[in-house]
A and B are shown apart, each in its own frame.
Chain A
Amino acid sequence: SYELPQAPSVSVSPGQTANIACSGDKLGDKYVSWYQQKAGLAPVLLIFQNNRRPSGIPERFSGSNSGNTATLTISGTQPMDEADYYCQACDSSVSFVFGTGTKLTVL
């Protein structure tokens, strides 16, 4: 089955850039979405189709996807960005596959 491993945790200082990676076999051939999930709340779509932002999502969130790695970049990270982040891709066999998730700590 298709898997999307992510680092369990990433730490960043306020105002710095956070990079959250998601890896998968030939992931660059697929389209990746990213979701933010704050504690106790439902996930929220941050990025879709690799690098597109829904309306209302701040410009500091951006995405890229190439080779076997997709990356969510948060520029000028704010304390309110502390959350779990999940990548997601569509696989031919399982349809939707989520990454294992990365907990972002802003300290």
Chain B
Amino acid sequence: QVHLRESGPGLVKPSETLSLTCTVSGGSVNSGAYYWSWVRQAPGKGLLWVGYISYTGYTSYNPSFRGRVIISIDTSNNQFSLRLPSMTVADSAVYYCARISRDSANYYKNYLDSWGQGTLVTVSS
């Protein structure tokens, strides 16, 4: 069974860049059957999809982030990462990494089948 674990700083100063890494075990990120995704949840709020990456490096991001998001993948270490520059208080949230089970024939069939436990990121000076 695949296991995902987020790592990174719990506290970031305003205007700084958030860098988070998701380490995958029990499965390989180097697979065409999946995308690798980030989802965040502000305190007391709902889930917000941030973006995803494929094993080839193909990415898709939520337009609401206005180009601020960068997701990368490291197949040699079985990890993928999130970079979010220019952090503000509004970016304070629990950040989850998750695996997307993808249907190569029908994009609309994709779903998030495994999630990390999440990591709380607080933006404060």
Contact residues of A with B, CB < 8 Å?
1, 30-31, 33, 35, 37, 41-45, 48-49, 54, 86, 88-90, 93-101
Contact = CB atoms under 8 A, between A and B. Distances in A.
A94 B47 contact: no
Contacts of A31: 106, 108-109, 111
Q: B-side binding surface: helix, strand, loop or mixed?
A: strand
Given A44-B115, A93-B63, A94-B63, A101 B47 contact: yes
B121 to A, nearest CB: 15
Given A42-B96, A94-B62, A95-B60, A30 B49 contact: no
B52 A48 contact: no
Q: Range of interface residues on chain B?
A: 20 to 34
5 contacts: A1-B63, A43-B96, A44-B115, A45-B115, A96-B100
Interface in B97-125: 100-101, 106-118
A90 B52 CA distance: 13
B46 interface: yes
Contacts of A96: 37, 39, 49, 52, 62, 100, 110, 112
B48 A98 contact: yes
Nearest to A41: B117
Interface of B: 37, 39, 46-49, 51-52, 60, 62-64, 96, 100-101, 106-118
Given A42-B116, A42-B118, A48 B111 contact: yes
A31 B114 CA distance: 18
Given A42-B118, A43-B96, A95-B52, A100 B46 contact: yes
A33 B112 contact: yes
Contacts of A89: 108
Contacts of A42: 96, 115-118
